[in-house]
Each structure stands twice: as C-alpha cells, then as structure tokens.
Amino acid sequence: MINVSCQTILNCTRNVTIRCANNFTCTSLKLMRFYSAIRTNTQTPKKVTITTLQNLYTNNEPITVLTAHDYPSGLFVEKTGIEICLVGDSLGMVALGRKSVNQTTIEEMLHHCRAVSRGAKNPFLVGDMPFGSYETSSKDALRNAIRYIKEGNMEVC
C-alpha cells in the first residue's frame, strides 16, 4: 500500500491509498496510466455521445466505464473524464446493504440515476434496469426504459 496525493486525481488535498497488483510500487505515472481517462489538457470537456464512443472504438482508443451510485461518485466520474458512467442495480447490495440485486426496485434505481446524473454531466449515462422491470412484457420494458430516460436522466438502459 502506498499513499498518493488525491490532487493527482481530483485536485483536492486528501490522501488516497492505492493497492497495486503484485505489490509493485506505484508511482504517479503508473497512477495516471491506471486512470487512463484522466485528461491532461485544460479544455472544457464535451458531452460524450454515441458518436464519441463510435469514434473512440474506430480509432482503437480505450473506452473507460465506471459504476456510480450517488452524487459524489457521479462527480468523481465527471472529474476524471471517464466516458461511460453506469448506474448499476448492484447498488442494492453495495449502497443499500441488501443480500441480492433482485430486491432493488425501479423507484430506487431512478432515485440513484437522478443523483448520479447531477454529478456526472459529460459522461454517457447508462442505467441498469432491475430484475422484474422488463421480463414481464415488451410493453412494461418500453414503459420502464422511457422512465429511465425521462425521470432518471439516463441516455440508455
């Protein structure tokens, strides 16, 4: 374990502990490679769209994805320049302490989608649809998908 200044990641003053694979010593250079989406230029970031993702894929550039469950983690995704932010139904276990993701409701997901979208303005936002929100019928699946886009501020689900 080593301590690396959080300033490298988010321009703040706290320290963050990074555990490196195989107990290698991490340097700030390796940290920058680990967070490959960190942009070193000072240009204002642009909204990531499907076209942006297609261009990255076509140019064989890495596309970064990170899961977020709340406003602070959405803000972290925003600050690091990650292209895709996933609001996963795993938040039922990770953030809500449940034993299974199957217990996560669509209302809880929409609540967390809205919170993440307030912090993550530029990444392409993807929301997981929880168990039971799309299996019953195509009509239910479409209605719930529209809710994700309208109420949850997601771009795709």
Q: How confident is the model over 58-84, as a mean pLDDT?
A: 95
How many separate domains does the chain show? 2
What is the structure's pLDDT at 106? 94
Overall pTM > 0.85: no
What is the structure's pLDDT at 98? 92
Same-domain pairing of 11 and 80: no
Q: Mean of the per-residue pLDDT values for the chain? A: 80
Secondary structure of the chain as H, E, C letters: CEEEECHHHHCCCCEEEECCHHHCCCCHHHHHHHCCCCCCCCCCCCCCCHHHHHHHHHCCCCCCEEECCCHHHHHHHHHHCCCEEEECCCHHHHCCCCCCHHHCCHHHHHHHHHHHHHHCCCCEEEECCCCCCCCCCHHHHHHHHHHHHHCCCCCEC
State pLDDT tens for residues 129-146: 999 889 899 999 999 999
Q: With a cut of 50, say whether residue 43 has pLDDT above it.
A: yes
Question: For the domain that residue 64 is a member of, what is the CATH number?
Answer: 3.20.20.60
Q: How confident is the model over 92-115, as a mean pLDDT?
A: 94
pLDDT band with cut points at 50, 70 and 90 for residue 9:
very low
Same-domain pairing of 24 and 84: no
In-domain check, residue 155: no
Q: With a cut of 50, say whether residue 24 has pLDDT above it.
A: no
